[in-house]
């Protein structure tokens, strides 16, 4: 059983700056987002957390963040299908909706389907033999699914961009 995970939401993107919903759109990091990822890597190094790989959503913004972390930590990036952000269909590219927990969206992925997809991806992750944490780079929508999967309650709606957060079976702690 996985005892701990470090979650790092991707760095800032143009969609974050503009307040629009990226969802399945493959957006890149801004220069600030890259700097945030470098700061997250420094934080992880300073914290002494030993990880063997960075498990990342295959979307560009997450992979770019994961690559910066992996280079600093000297470990590989492993893209994990299923950790992508929710597919918001017709809402993508528009303003972020007030109700992010709505079940259905026009021509998009249901909330139930999204949660099932992310849960299946998490179920497929390896449990480190040394009991150390998994490092997961993904999206705001992934956060509550990961918390539920770990059996942890969190006051965070989602962590800020590129701010590593450690989850254990006992709770959540910022790096």
Residues designated as active site: 10, 85
| Angle of CA points 102, 145, 96, to nearest 5° | 40
Whether residue 117 is annotated as binding a ligand: the answer is no
What size, in residues, is the chain? 175
Whether residue 13 is annotated as binding a ligand: the answer is yes
DSSP secondary structure letter of residue 51: -
The radius of gyration of the chain's CA atoms, rounded to the nearest angstrom, is 15
Whether residue 170 is annotated as binding a ligand: the answer is no
Structure tokens at 11: 């760095």
Helix (H, G, I), strand (E, B) or coil at 111: helix
* Strand ranges across the sheet with 171-174: 77-79, 54-56, 134-138, 4-9, 165-168, 171-174
The 3-state secondary structure of 70-125, one letter per residue: HHHHCCCEEECCCCCCCCCHHHCCCECCCCCCCCCCCCCCCHHHHHHHHHHHHHCC
Whether residue 38 is annotated as binding a ligand: the answer is no
Whether residue 14 is annotated as binding a ligand: the answer is yes
Whether residue 153 is annotated as binding a ligand: the answer is no
Whether residue 169 is annotated as binding a ligand: the answer is no
Residues annotated within a binding site for substrate: 9-16, 61
Residues annotated within a binding site: 9-16, 61
């Amino acid at each position: 059983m996985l005892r701990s995970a470090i979650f790092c939401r991707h760095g800032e993107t143009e969609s974050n700056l503009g307040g629009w919903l990226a969802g399945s759109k493959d957006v890149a990091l801004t220069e600030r987002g890259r700097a945030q990822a470098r700061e997250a890597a420094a934080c992880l190094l300073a914290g002494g957390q030993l990880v063997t790989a960075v498990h990342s959503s295959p979307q560009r913004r997450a992979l770019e963040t994961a690559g910066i972390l992996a280079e600093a930590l000297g470990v590989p990036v492993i893209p994990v299908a299923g950790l992508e952000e929710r597919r918001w269909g017709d809402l993508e590219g528009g303003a972020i909706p007030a109700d992010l927990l709505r079940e259905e969206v026009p021509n998009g992925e249901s909330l139930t389907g999204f949660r099932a997809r992310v849960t299946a991806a998490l179920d497929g992750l390896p449990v480190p033999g040394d009991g150390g944490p998994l490092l997961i780079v993904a999206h705001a929508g992934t956060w509550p699914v990961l918390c539920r999967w770990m059996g942890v309650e969190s006051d965070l709606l989602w962590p800020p961009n590129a701010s590593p957060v450690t989850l254990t079976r006992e709770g959540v702690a910022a790096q």
